[in-house]
Structure 1
């Protein structure tokens, strides 16, 4: 019994449960063939209906729900939102299986936007239940298992479709079963006692795992938390406050305490703290440039991955060809993981060469998109997609690392969330103008021509910025290098 208690109190217990949840929630055998499923005899929709009426709903909905879900995630302390995410995933899969009309599938896209918006809870939960020294391991485990789930789902889907082992509807039923397992596991997750903004007084540690003394030091670079304001008003020593909090922890959080912690005054202070933290985080010009690339590139990446199956079906209709979408997704996921993993072993001064790297590899991604668009060969499309995805995953890993290194305060979720919000805002504009039937409603080839040109623009802008950064660094290095003592005085004067 004692061994079980120790195991449940150890950081590996919630990490293991979250990894199991991440695996079963990402094994989606039908996802690489979703356009084929919707335009085939099972749903009998046209490519134009899927491309111009159904898929754009996800972009609009995702933008609308992202910020409310982010705040709600912190208020509810992560676990309820993780459970809610799995419920929405179950509803999404069920609607995809049992509905056929365009309005119903548009509603399905809205529910799926809630699933993707709740990803912030999945990636934030682990930081609230493990010590800071375990962040790197816990993060790597959770991300690796998610990637493994995507890979297994893609390979399984390819095998089931290629060898006709299951009908499309039965594959969707299998996905429902896997989602139900993930839902059961999510209910077993332990409830965190603290969060980033709302529930800081529930534990002697803040959301990032530092102690009471560290919180006081951290407040010198940020605004004072609600807990510290209360401590100033109370004429008590730090020891007595810790004893009181420890006693409350043993009793468990009460509803009255929770209501007081999220009252109107607390919400106002949370919003003020969000604004101050936002201004401080983006005060770094270099971080601002990396975040700008993040928003622009993620926008283009999401647009490409959302509609690439439509392009594949246009280049080589599935009725005339044994498609290998699942195998391509599996290969691209594994190679992307290898590219991202290699960043940790690459000794490069990213603050000097990073922006030039962003521009150069974005140019390779743009070239791959142009080849996919104009060559008209399905195998070229597959290879181009693998190259494009690997380039993006490599660069987004570098960007995340550099942004985290440049932050003067531990507000990773805030910065990452705002960068994603910026990318969604751009994506919404592009979707409304280019894709939506209420806008231009372009066909798939003109769409991908625009996406390739968009990445070419990113490549040019950041290549020029990178060249300027390298030139500035070289000039500063030359100016600060002391003159050679053996050099004649006349030559030194001539050089100056």
Structure 2
């Protein structure tokens, strides 16, 4: 028997089985999908004897395909994700992981690696289902914790994978090929763990359900077929109903098609309406602007950092510590993401200033990476940069989830990511792609450092403005309290009682 109650997610499987079950399953998927010991050694693997590609081919011809694929797939995947209610897209992500690592193991040549990057773009695009699914099966009371858990578990998994990869390479001299074999096994387990995930009963647009009491509505004109000769109107007693003309298959098909088209129009109208409502909040708008701008820069840095490390310290001439660096940076990111779940701060006042401060830290870290010829300074700068970004993106995710309804979270997440990818695509075409400027890796990171410096300037100005506004409001409030106190006289007890 279905029992309904008030509140988001109360009629979902999470209401019956508790929020822990779907959260644990989703965390298992996130853990095994990110436990990839070969990830920190991708560039050394591609430029090494296994694939025998040049650094220029990897930088200017292969890696940009991921950006273009991610951008092209994000919006259609977002709509399909909602229609299919999240779980099938998570399963698709698991399959795409498997295809990616099979190609990484056995495919050869630039064209094959470009197709691999296309498939991995699908992996990245379907990530929207991973971070949206949990909000469709748990109540809003658990948003802060599940956001913290789901993001931190992926960072912990990436940390363990990086440590494992570094130990295997440094201690036992295991070839990069076998690191990719381990990664293939891990992502295969992730795919299997996605299968028992409970299917959400509702989604953002196509499968909406009303909360509260379940009502059985009588048939209306919208659901009753309209006949050309309406005998029901001519014969209210229902006599001679057998004489009603039967609807042809063509008319049934036309009615179904018209209903489907009307539903599609309603979906897009609802999309536009919710889009405007999402960004009507100034606080959400500024968090989203930072999200898009910073994510664009973060994707670029993480996509090309191994190329810079290989430039500063060629992997064929020295021991590579990419795995250890990724482990440390990801562990720091996981720690900050987890702690955010328990931090209490008025982000409406201090949020924009925090964005400005930490964006300055990110900019300084990137300039350190770019201007130093010491590989350890480059490693340290990357640790600071990644931990800082993960700290802020977790806060941004929670702020959006806390200020929006469950249905609109996926919409805002998708739009923010789409804008970030659009900006990244422009940056890639102009700065990286061989058909654009095709700049060298050192010049690229100089541009990325300047990019984050510009972001920090924007949010410093906005943060100062917000603090000044808050100070003025407090001042006016104190002045009004003083005026009220001055109007009270010691002998006027009745007036004092009123106030």
TM bucket by the smaller chain? 0.7 to 0.9
2:468 paired with 1:471: yes
Hey, what's the Cα distance between the residues in 1 that align with 2:259 and 2:169?
Answer: 50
Hey, what's the Cα distance between the residues in 2 that align with 1:69 and 1:374?
Answer: 39
Match of 2:336 among 339, 344, 348: 339
Please say which of residues 130-139 and 94-103 is displaced more in the overlay: 130-139
Cα drift, residue 410 of structure 1? 4.9
Question: Counterpart in 1 of 2:167?
Answer: 159
Please say which of residues 104-113 and 16-25 is displaced more in the overlay: 16-25
Higher relative contact order (CA 8 A, sep 6+): 2
Question: Counterpart in 1 of 2:459?
Answer: 462
Structure 1 runs (4+) deviating above 6 angstroms are 5-8, 227-232, 259-262, 485-489
Pair 212,126 (structure 1): closer, same or farther in 2 beyond 3 Å: farther
Cα drift, residue 476 of structure 1? 2.5
Cα drift, residue 277 of structure 1? 0.3
Q: How does 1:137-286 map to 2 (within 5 A)?
A: 137-201=145-209, 210-212=211-213, 263-286=260-283
Q: How does 1:114-133 map to 2 (within 5 A)?
A: 114-133=122-141
Hey, what's the Cα distance between the residues in 2 that align with 1:104 and 1:149?
Answer: 28
Cα drift, residue 377 of structure 1? 0.6
Cα drift, residue 145 of structure 1? 2.5
Hey, what's the Cα distance between the residues in 1 that align with 2:435 and 2:367?
Answer: 26
Pair 13,288 (structure 1): closer, same or farther in 2 beyond 3 Å: closer
Question: Counterpart in 1 of 2:27?
Answer: 19
Preserved contact between residue 203 and residue 407 of structure 2 (Cα < 8 Å): no
2:428 paired with 1:438: no
Cα drift, residue 264 of structure 1? 2.4
Question: Counterpart in 2 of 1:224?
Answer: none
Question: Counterpart in 2 of 1:414?
Answer: 411
Preserved contact between residue 199 and residue 261 of structure 1 (Cα < 8 Å): no
Cα drift, residue 411 of structure 1? 1.1
Cα drift, residue 404 of structure 1? 3.4
Hey, what's the Cα distance between the residues in 1 that align with 2:463 and 2:423?
Answer: 23
Please give the per-residue CA displacement for 1:227-285, whole angstroms capped at 9, x wherever unaligned: 999889679xxxxxxxxxxxxxxxxxxxx9xx999932222211110100000111122
Give the gaps of 5 or more residues in structure 1.
Answer: 217-226, 236-255, 490-496
Question: Counterpart in 1 of 2:241?
Answer: none
Please give the per-residue CA displacement for 1:420-474, whole angstroms capped at 9, x wherever unaligned: 1110110000000000000000000000000000001111111111111111221
Question: Counterpart in 2 of 1:83?
Answer: 91
Q: How does 1:323-362 map to 2 (within 5 A)?
A: 323-362=320-359
Alignment RMSD? 3.0
Question: Counterpart in 2 of 1:251?
Answer: none
Question: Counterpart in 1 of 2:52?
Answer: 44
User: Which of these two proteins has the greater Rg computed from alpha carbons?
Assistant: 2
Please say which of residues 326-335 and 45-54 is displaced more in the overlay: 326-335
Hey, what's the Cα distance between the residues in 1 that align with 2:162 and 2:198?
Answer: 31
Hey, what's the Cα distance between the residues in 1 that align with 2:76 and 2:365?
Answer: 36
Please give the per-residue CA displacement for 1:322-378, whole angstroms capped at 9, x wherever unaligned: 121111111111111222333344443221222111111111110111011012111
Match of 2:398 among 398, 401, 405: 401
2:312 paired with 1:312: no
Give the gaps of 5 or more residues in structure 2.
Answer: 1-12, 225-252, 488-499
Preserved contact between residue 145 and residue 341 of structure 2 (Cα < 8 Å): no
Q: How many residue pairs get matched?
A: 444
Question: Counterpart in 2 of 1:391?
Answer: 388
More helix by share: 1
Hey, what's the Cα distance between the residues in 2 that align with 1:289 and 1:73?
Answer: 26
Hey, what's the Cα distance between the residues in 2 that align with 1:228 and 1:197?
Answer: 21
TM-score (norm 2): 0.82
